[in-house]
Structure 1
């Protein structure tokens, strides 16, 4: 999967430019466009390069997982990627049955729906200012039922591993923020979350169903942002990880994510236009 030697700076730059151009042009890449970065740090270098080429505001960050069989080799169990303003949809309430939000995805590329809790930061967090081994609840302004849409021009991006995912903006292509969850810390383990695609039931799980719980994902995001010298502003949204799994689909599909007792988020996935 990975080359024998670390990629050169020029190779990382070429990879960044190719992935960014594919996103801008909405063109499909049948394979990963070059060697896969050998380390998480190298992949974040690609992501940083790509951020300088992408003219959109960051509204939040997604947290994803490194597959268990690569965690020791990669030296980490989670990954992060930016969420941009153009693909952020703040609804703030449940959808009625006849309502939906349109989300752009890369037709012919990788597309997936993920049910997630979305955490809103209530204060700015500068690099190194928070000890994540201590309490973190005071940092959270609100928690919402939410969805991450994952999409990439690379058809089978996830099969290339976590460094490929990081290199392509963490494969994020959308965030939907639904209804707020009151008293979230005491109720999320009892909220059943379900995903339906094209009206077909896919999977269900308790809404805290991520590794060591969603607050562990928030702690990771704070630490990883600090390591990258990234300030997390007040109001930053954190997608804390797929609750029921990463569910592959295609452009043209419809999907519903249901948080029991909180409400539904209804979506239509439409092709990105260049």
Structure 2
């Protein structure tokens, strides 16, 4: 992907965060050619928007698959019970996830952080609802690398009250419930495709720090959906509950 195309896509996506849309149709010449090109667009986007990173999202399609991750603007992190505006004429989706908070800083360094260093630093955990919104009008029919460039279609992360980290928590099968206006909306089996989401955390920390991005103590990392994506057709209240964690909710208006 040429540097000029990287910068142009980043600029259009950055503008899309203000106007709500970046494209009528995504020009093929702007689609990132690979994952690294998509991450380069993310970097340019952060620079152009002067974004303060408040958290990260990370996921994988299977336990052994490569991760996909994106920084989350601090302004997009919200508390449970908050209100989110639905975008006009564009789809919006909701996902129920588990988010973790680190109890130490991770500074950029030449050496990779070990699994033990990262997993031993988990301080808190909580249920979270990600609001998924794209800057592409044609989403979800958008190439995966273009979605990755758009911070993996991030709209907002609503984080419930967190509790001290529980190493014996049933992360693989937490038996969540997820409702919209009181109706169950879990699509398929309530499982994270990555398996135990904690195994994503060391890979995320090393992704960020090897790119020169620090993760300060308290950084929130959400780790992929247990419930698939739910596309609500109207305004209403989404509520998620994962046994052992405080509930989380968001109101769409």
- Provide the TM-score with structure 2 as the length reference: 0.86
Between the aligned partners of 2:198 and 2:62, the Cα distance in structure 1 is 19
Structure 2 equivalent of residue 123 of structure 1: 104
Please, which moves more after superposition, 59-68 or 104-113? 59-68
Structure 1 equivalent of residue 156 of structure 2: 174
Question: Cα gap change, 1:212/1:261 in structure 2, threshold over 3 Å: closer, same or farther?
Answer: closer
Do residues 164 (structure 1) and 140 (structure 2) align? Answer: no
Give the secondary structure class of the aligned counterpart of 2:4.
helix
Following superposition, the deviation at residue 150 of structure 1 comes to 1.3
Structure 2 equivalent of residue 238 of structure 1: 221
For residues 22-33 of structure 1, what are the structure 2 equivalents within 5 Å? 22-27=16-21, 29-33=23-27
Give the secondary structure class of the aligned counterpart of 1:187.
coil
Matching residue within 28, 39, 45 for 1:50 = 45
Structure 1 equivalent of residue 196 of structure 2: 213
Question: Cα gap change, 1:55/1:131 in structure 2, threshold over 3 Å: closer, same or farther?
Answer: closer
CA RMSD of aligned residues (A): 2.8
Following superposition, the deviation at residue 26 of structure 1 comes to 1.9
Contact residue 145 and residue 181 of structure 1 kept, 8 A = no
Following superposition, the deviation at residue 232 of structure 1 comes to 0.7
Contact residue 87 and residue 175 of structure 1 kept, 8 A = yes
Contact residue 108 and residue 251 of structure 1 kept, 8 A = no
Contact residue 15 and residue 33 of structure 1 kept, 8 A = no
Task: After superposition, give the CA deviation of every residue in 1:115-174 in whole Å (9 maximum; x if it has no partner).
Answer: 111110111101245533435332111111112111113134343233111211221111
Following superposition, the deviation at residue 61 of structure 1 comes to 0.6
Between the aligned partners of 1:41 and 1:28, the Cα distance in structure 2 is 21
In the comparison of the two structures, how many residue pairs are matched?
250
Task: After superposition, give the CA deviation of every residue in 1:30-77 in whole Å (9 maximum; x if it has no partner).
Answer: 433543111110001111111112144211011133589xxxxxx962
